[in-house]
Structure 1
Amino acid sequence: MHSLLKRQLNKYLPEALCNESSLEELFEAIGKSYEHYDEKLSMLQRATAISSDELYDANRELEKEAARQKKVLNSLENALTALQSNFETQEVTKNIVDENFDAEKLARQIKELAQRASEMGIEKDGLLKDLARQNESLNSYAHVVSHDLKSPIRNISALIAWIEEDERDTLSEQSQQNLSLALQNLEKMDKLITGILKHATLGNKNSSNVEFNLEELLGDIQQNIFVPNNVSFQFQENLPKLCFDKYKIEQLFMNLMTNAVKALENKKKGTVRIDFKDKGDNWYFAVADNGKGIPEEHQTDIFEMFNKLENDEMATGIGLALVKKIVGLYGGKVWVESLEGLGTTFHFTLKKQEQ
């Protein structure tokens, strides 16, 4: 068992129990709770990335299968139309005896097409059920591992706080800086675990669409994130009312607005502007800043898990992956345009929903 933790436990035990051998098993069990969380975090990252890739591939297969099924149904409809038109004409007898027309062969083809459509429908149902099981397993796994990781992190944070409290007068300046750095890394790990859990379970939440005012939502986000004095927000006039899962849209805009503010840290006068267009069946939005911009070589992979826009020790590399996932859930697309030193614009579309 870690000596610091054992010392802290003994500090609050009655003197008669400090050297009690029967408590060694308890101390050992407590010590084990602080082990292996790095390994579990790595497992969770790999599981999330693998599952995301599997779901992406499965969705692509579903799209291809749907296209094949549509072709089969179109062929079936054309065959039925041809058969019906032949038997409805006044030249039925002539058509039947014509050597170029074989009603029996056509009937067999229709039967085969119907059979193929039925089989593909069964396969599609099986694939959807399998995806649902994978989602459920990933959801359960992410929650369990998240809990197992966060508990020791919080306990270690408390232990460091105790050390600072007990040794405040004897710790060197370098030791105090080291403890502060340790706390920062624990905070980063806690954020990383939270981000992974959000990404893994975002599409699995039972939620319903509600109508809300976008301007009010953006105003609430602006109040809840850190905005330095050198940064101002500009919203297009007459922002619309939207009908979506409000939580998901809040996460979407919060991540984009937070990234924009970070890009303006060294700008004397930074501006973040949000615009929209009604595209009929879709909404189009743009979140633009006049910050430092994104290098061209990083613009293709910034939406992938754990890829960061910059070397920020507290960044998790999950924010834009969440943006991409939310946009995908609503049948939209997201892309970026940026020039170094001039600014960045994130564009995305969302398919309109109904309550």
Structure 2
Amino acid sequence: MHSLLKRQIRKYLPDELKAHPEMESFLEAIGKSYENFDDKFSMLHRASTISSDELFEANKKLQREALQQKNILVSLEKAIASLRENLNDEQEFDFDIQNEFNAEHLASYISNLASKVSNMTLEKDKLVAHLENQNESLNNYAHMVSHDLRSPIRNISALMNWIMEDEKDNFSQTSKDNCSLVSENLIKMDKLVTGILNHATMGETKEHRVLFSLEESLRDIEKTIYVPENVTFKYANDLPKMEFERERLEQLFMNLFLNAITATEHLENGVIEIGYEPDDTYWKFSVSDNGKGIPTNHQEGIFQMFKKLETTNNATGIGLAIVKKITVLYEGSVWLESEENVGTTFFITLKKNT
């Protein structure tokens, strides 16, 4: 025991107790009790310190969990809002998800929306299956019509040629002109049937991509089609080498070339220019001519099937529709800028990796 404490205790003891032989043991016992108190106090202090640290860590964990729960609720609220918007759901959701959380109500509501999504998915699958059946029927019909029409058309064309050859000395000039007109219309019908078949079957088969020079490919097209002497092709100097489905690309440019030739063949000096713009994502091209131009009121529907500006030539009205379908097939687009009696420019984009 501390000496000052002993002194204070002895100060208040009667004289007969101060000299009592057991007093030292008494004072020693008091001292030990104080020592135990100090030890227990120290232990309590340490325990409270540990508990405080644990509480601090637990509080931090609770804060993190609360923030996580809040984020989950916000995400749920956004998901529900999106579902209601897309489903045109008019059911009332009568509590604020962030301020009043009712798990049973929320689960019931989400279950209801999920059921609607499931029903919509079933309907979509039915529609897709129905659409696939319709497309298959249309393609079969296109093949059948193409085959059934081509054969008699070509037979009639051959017969007309034989008649013209055998009776050319007996026919009047008027009859000869009429026979020539029949032959021209048969050729036009054959082109029309071929165009319908090409449009209907576009995208059915996958073509292997090959590496080729675009300029070389375009010059080959120029050699295979009729180009009047008064029409000149000009190619950009930076036309690229491409890894692409060559046949479809040539089909696209051939239709654009034929369209441009029709627009310029009446000019003394018709010019068709092919341009290129480098891009990381898309192949970007343009085909320009200095021809008739397209009236503004006809530009919007120019890519529709059988849409054509004139009926006096051999145009079928399918060429630009095929161009449109090819660009869509490769996640691109086609559009035009045109002014009457000045010329037209078609712009084409095709995604490089589809």
**2:79 is equivalent to residue 79 of structure 1:** no
**2:169 is equivalent to residue 172 of structure 1:** no
Structure 1 unaligned spans of 5+: 1-74, 83-97
Residue number in structure 1 paired with 2:266: 266
Computed over aligned residues only, the root mean square deviation of the Cα atoms, in angstroms, reads: 2.6
In 2, the alpha carbon distance for the partners of 1:145 and 1:76 equals 59
Structure 2 unaligned spans of 5+: 1-71, 80-97
Aligned residues: 265
How big is the shift at 1:349?
1.9
Q: Which amino acid aligns with 1:149?
A: L
**2:285 is equivalent to residue 288 of structure 1:** no
Q: Is the 8 A contact 2:255 2:320 kept in 1?
A: yes
Q: Is the 8 A contact 2:238 2:276 kept in 1?
A: no
In 2, the alpha carbon distance for the partners of 1:81 and 1:189 equals 57
Pairwise mapping of residues 13-28 of structure 1 onto structure 2 (< 5 A)? none
Structure 2 SS opposite 1:132:
helix
Q: Is the 8 A contact 1:79 1:110 kept in 2?
A: no
Query: Of the two, which has the highest radius of gyration?
Result: 2
How big is the shift at 1:100?
1.0
Structure 2 SS opposite 1:341:
coil
Structure 1 SS opposite 2:202:
helix
How big is the shift at 1:77?
9.2
TM-score by length of 1: 0.68
In 1, the alpha carbon distance for the partners of 2:74 and 2:123 equals 22
How big is the shift at 1:350?
1.8
In 2, the alpha carbon distance for the partners of 1:347 and 1:104 equals 57
Q: Is the 8 A contact 1:213 1:240 kept in 2?
A: yes
My pick for the range that moved more, 128-137 or 145-154, is 128-137
How big is the shift at 1:272?
1.2
Residue number in structure 1 paired with 2:340: 340
TM-score by length of 2: 0.68
Structure 2 SS opposite 1:188:
helix
How big is the shift at 1:178?
1.3
Pairwise mapping of residues 203-218 of structure 1 onto structure 2 (< 5 A)? 203-218=203-218
Residue number in structure 2 paired with 1:52: none
Q: Which amino acid aligns with 2:311?
A: N
In 1, the alpha carbon distance for the partners of 2:117 and 2:351 equals 29
Residue number in structure 2 paired with 1:194: 194
Identity of aligned residues (%): 54
Structure 1 SS opposite 2:306:
coil
In 2, the alpha carbon distance for the partners of 1:131 and 1:207 equals 24
My pick for the range that moved more, 314-323 or 326-335, is 326-335
Pairwise mapping of residues 56-135 of structure 1 onto structure 2 (< 5 A)? 78-79=75-76, 100-135=100-135
Residue number in structure 1 paired with 2:156: 156
How big is the shift at 1:132?
2.1
Structure 2 SS opposite 1:316:
coil
Cα–Cα, structure 1 residues 99 and 219, in superposed 2: closer, same or farther, change >3 Å?
closer
Q: Is the 8 A contact 1:160 1:179 kept in 2?
A: yes
In 2, the alpha carbon distance for the partners of 1:332 and 1:348 equals 7
In 2, the alpha carbon distance for the partners of 1:280 and 1:353 equals 10
Structure 1 SS opposite 2:264:
coil
Cα–Cα, structure 1 residues 212 and 105, in superposed 2: closer, same or farther, change >3 Å?
farther
Residue number in structure 2 paired with 1:6: none
